């Protein structure tokens, strides 16, 4: 089986590629376990820090907004696509046209290229909990969507496309609504949620970090470990277990920013927690306050997806996976 990962230069794309190389197999639409022969990482830039010595791994750069380029990318041997590419929240809000070109038009290009294969390949679409918007209650998967950002709206439209292309038999799609991913390795990006990783990642590395929101702000969170497990499990799930509704909200935990800082202090000590500097940014505060702080994900749990136990586990996982078990 040939697999394409869009957004392959991002940290999730790279971690997913490494997991696939280690695992070596995926389950196709007929329930058969297939050996992975080629994994293509596609992005606008080449991934950094990736091992290229595995002959199954291919890196390609290009523009997901170019339909012809995408059709060439998804060749006849493609058995599945992990569609992770996106312009992130704050950037999509600032540059509406770019967000639409990548997050909506790019998704349509992927789906059309898969449709042209005529083999109904599996497509895992990385959606977002931002599709819900701000609500006065805890939503579930059947809650009417009312996103409060362009990014959330673009992801919601992508979900509907995946659902309809699956209904028509063009693809075997599944949209996984990702919580905010904490702790992201690497450097801060343009996402409004980037601070949620920075206020933990930088102090663990011995550096100061600025928190631009109030301590009582709550977020719906999942660790990188659990995200990779969810993407693989989501691909392997048989279509009959998903039925006609191809959207799934991944289980996460609800934690306030203050609780994140408290977990940092418990796991890494008072000195690490003291490296957080609290400086309110009204723009970021407004965006993050437009996200739901908790979601009922009973259907996803029933289908075998799981969340982290608590923030302490998330902090420890980052120390083990990214810092070789050591705190600065």
Pairing mode, if any, of strands 25-27 and 33-35? antiparallel
CA 56 to each of CA 17, 18, 59, 145, 314: distance values in angstroms, whole numbers, following the listed order: 10, 11, 10, 40, 31
Question: Could you tell me which of 154, 70, 64 has the C-alpha nearest to residue 112?
Answer: 70
Torsion angles phi and psi, residue 171, rounded to 5: -140, 170
Burial of 10 (0-12, 13-18, 19+ CB in 10 A): buried
b/e sequence 118-146, b meaning 16+ C-beta within 10 Å: ebbbbbbbbbbbbbbbebeeebeeebebe
Going by the DSSP 8-state scheme, the letter that residue 21 receives in this structure is H
User: DSSP readout, 34-76?
Assistant: EE--EEEEEESSPPSS-----TTEEEEE--TT-HHHHHHHS-T
CB-CB contact of 208 with 243 (8 Å): no
Which helix (H) or strand (E) segment holds residue 246: the answer is none
- Separation of alpha carbons 163 and 249, rounded Å: 14
Catalytic residue among 132, 151, 165, 220: 151
Strand partners, 80: 3, 122
Which helix (H) or strand (E) segment holds residue 15: the answer is helix 11-23
- Separation of alpha carbons 291 and 282, rounded Å: 15
Is 165 assigned a catalytic role? Answer: no
Question: Which residues are catalytic, by number?
Answer: 151
């Amino acid at each position: 089986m040939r697999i394409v990962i869009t957004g392959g230069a991002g940290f999730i794309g790279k971690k997913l590629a490494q997991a696939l190389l280690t695992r070596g197999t995926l389950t196709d639409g007929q329930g058969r376990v297939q050996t992975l022969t080629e994994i293509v990482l596609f992005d606008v830039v080449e991934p950094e820090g990736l091992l290229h010595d595995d002959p199954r791994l291919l890196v390609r750069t290009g523009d997901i907004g170019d339909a012809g380029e995408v059709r060439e990318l998804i060749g006849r041997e493609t058995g599945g696509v992990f569609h992770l590419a996106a312009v992130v929240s704050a950037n999509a809000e600032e540059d509406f046209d770019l967000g639409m070109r990548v997050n909506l038009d790019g998704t349509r290009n992927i789906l059309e290229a898969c449709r042209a294969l005529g083999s109904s390949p599996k497509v895992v679409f990385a959606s977002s909990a931002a599709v819900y918007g701000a609500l006065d209650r805890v939503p579930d998967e059947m809650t009417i969507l009312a996103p409060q950002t362009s990014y959330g709206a673009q992801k919601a439209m992508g979900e509907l496309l995946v659902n309809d292309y699956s209904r028509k038999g063009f693809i075997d799609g599944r949209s996984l609504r990702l919580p905010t991913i904490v702790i992201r390795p690497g450097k801060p990006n343009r996402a409004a949620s980037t601070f949620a990783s920075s206020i933990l990642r930088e102090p663990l590395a011995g550096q100061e970090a600025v928190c631009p929101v109030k301590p009582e702000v709550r977020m719906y969170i999942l660790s990188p470990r659990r995200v990779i497990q969810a993407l693989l499990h989501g691909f392997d799930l048989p279509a009959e277990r998903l039925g006609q509704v191809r959207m799934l909200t991944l289980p996460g935990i609800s934690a306030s920013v203050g609780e994140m800082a408290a977990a940092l202090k418990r796991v890494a000590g008072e000195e690490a927690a003291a490296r957080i500097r609290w400086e309110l940014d009204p723009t970021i505060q407004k965006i993050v306050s437009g996200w739901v702080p908790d979601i009922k994900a009973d259907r996803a749990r029933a289908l075998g997806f799981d969340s982290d136990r608590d923030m302490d586990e998330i902090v420890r996982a980052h120390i083990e996976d990214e810092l070789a078990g050591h705190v600065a």
